[in-house]
């Protein structure tokens, strides 16, 4: 990977440009990480700018938000996705160049190799500005939104991996949230060095505060939180709830919105679960925190998770977990200690694991929850922000302990 021609001062506040192809109000882990990164770096005294697409038609504009100065680029709707938008290179390349002239960043941090991230990286390299590149995506994440046969999706996936290597190979440092994702990038994108660096979590935010009392749920409750998309396999979780023993009276709360919600609601109706499955829709941070704390069990049935921030959040609230044995999720389970893994897409196995946890005495479930909480400690957001700041100031791969 190239050495930058210019390295930021080791003490002075930095001007940081974060390039994010997905950013709030988008609801997904990558968007949430971009927001937390911007907020955290501003809190550390840096001058933070974010470059992202705008959410509707119109020209590019700048908005001043609490976490950063956010520059919104003109964009276009993707017909197969409820909110994702794309930027055309011929419309944004000149605007990106002008933004560099205006902002004069010391360091650039791209969040993907697509569209905005790609062209921001090229502009930074051209100007000799240090680049940190973080990958939050697997090509498989795009499959549900491409109306093509699987063989053609596989070709697109290989092209996407190759493009990732071409683009991110020009960065000074490449990171991704988990060792598993780093290994995949080695194998498929042929990137020689990838630093596994957690997205980070403010685990203390999910603890009960002194004097705080929350009424427990009236029945044993499993929680899912996330985008309601095909690769999350929430339908498998609903089927599993239907297969749990009637005497357990297992309830399910589903937090989030997305393109498959109508199909999931129809499934709940068909299975006669309307009195046990609740769709809570999009929730504020405060509302989601309460859901996590009151949950008896958190389940993530998704099979394309690079880290799963929502799982880390639930674990921070001392909640046992049952997770699909897929992608990065196995890193978040010590089987039998803080929960269990289940065979992906196997609703029978999931039902058995849910029943196993919810059949335990309350004190045993509490011990599982404490084990979840202790496993989150290495993902401290303060530690993650410090490591990224060190990378911004010129630290190498070998300088960062993971």
In whole numbers, what is the pLDDT of the chain averaged over residues? 91
Q: Are 94 and 123 in contact (CB under 8 A)?
A: no
- Tell me: the pLDDT tens digits for 35-68? 999 999 999 999 999 999 998 889 999 999 999 9
**Percentage of the chain lying above the pLDDT 90 cut:** 67
- Tell me: the pLDDT tens digits for 281-315? 988 889 999 999 999 999 999 988 878 889 999 99
Examine the pLDDT at 9 and tell me if it is beyond 80.
no
Sketch out the chain's domains with CATH numbers.
15-200+380-399 (3.40.50.2000), 203-378 (3.40.50.2000)
Given pLDDT bands bounded at 50, 70 and 90, which one contains residue 4? very low
**Percentage of the chain lying above the pLDDT 70 cut:** 94
- Tell me: the pLDDT tens digits for 153-179? 778 778 888 999 999 999 999 999 888
- Tell me: the pLDDT tens digits for 219-236? 999 999 998 988 899 999
- The CA distance from 58 to 208, in Å, is 44
Q: What is the pTM of this model?
A: 0.77
Residue 369 preceded by cis peptide, ω within 30: no
- Tell me: the pLDDT tens digits for 119-146? 999 999 999 999 999 998 876 666 665 6
């Amino acid at each position: 990977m190239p050495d930058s021609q210019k390295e930021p001062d080791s003490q002075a506040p930095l001007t940081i440009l974060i390039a994010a192809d997905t950013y709030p109000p988008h609801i997904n882990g990558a968007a949430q990480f971009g927001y937390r990164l911007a907020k955290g770096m501003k809190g550390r005294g840096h001058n933070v700018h974010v470059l992202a697409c705008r959410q509707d038609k119109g020209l590019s504009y700048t908005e001043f938000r609490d976490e950063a100065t956010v520059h919104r680029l003109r964009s276009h709707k993707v017909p197969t996705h409820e909110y994702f938008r794309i930027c055309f290179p011929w419309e944004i390349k000149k605007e990106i160049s002008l933004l560099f002239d205006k902002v004069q960043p010391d360091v650039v941090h791209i969040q993907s190799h697509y569209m905005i991230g790609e062209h921001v990286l090229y502009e930074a390299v051209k100007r000799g500005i240090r680049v940190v590149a973080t990958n939050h995506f697997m090509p498989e994440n795009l499959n549900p939104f491409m109306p093509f046969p699987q063989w053609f999706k596989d070709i697109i996936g290989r092209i996407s991996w190759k493009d990732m290597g071409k683009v991110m190979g020009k960065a000074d440092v490449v990171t991704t949230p988990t060792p598993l994702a780093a290994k995949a990038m080695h194998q498929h994108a042929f990137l020689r060095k990838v630093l596994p660096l957690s997205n980070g979590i403010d685990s203390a935010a999910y603890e009960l505060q002194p004097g705080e009392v929350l009424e427990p749920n009236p029945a044993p409750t499993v929680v899912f939180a996330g985008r309601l998309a095909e690769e999350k396999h929430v339908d498998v979780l609903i089927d599993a709830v239907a297969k749990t023993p009637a005497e357990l009276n297992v309830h399910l709360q589903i937090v989030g919105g997305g393109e498959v919600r109508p199909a999931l609601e129809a499934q709940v109706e068909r299975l006669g679960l309307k009195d046990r499955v609740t769709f809570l829709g999009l929730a504020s941070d405060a509302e989601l925190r309460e859901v996590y704390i009151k949950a008896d069990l958190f389940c993530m049935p998704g099979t394309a998770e690079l880290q799963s921030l929502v799982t880390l959040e639930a674990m921070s609230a001392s909640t046992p977990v049952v997770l699909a044995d897929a992608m990065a999720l196995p890193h978040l389970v010590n089987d039998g200690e803080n929960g269990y893994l289940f065979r992906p897409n196997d609703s029978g196995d999931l039902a058995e694991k849910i029943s196993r946890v919810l059949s335990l005495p309350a004190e045993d479930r509490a011990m599982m929850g404490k084990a979840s909480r202790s496993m989150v400690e290495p993902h401290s957001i303060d530690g993650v922000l410090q490591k990224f700041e060190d990378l911004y100031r010129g630290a190498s791969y070998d300088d960062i302990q993971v």
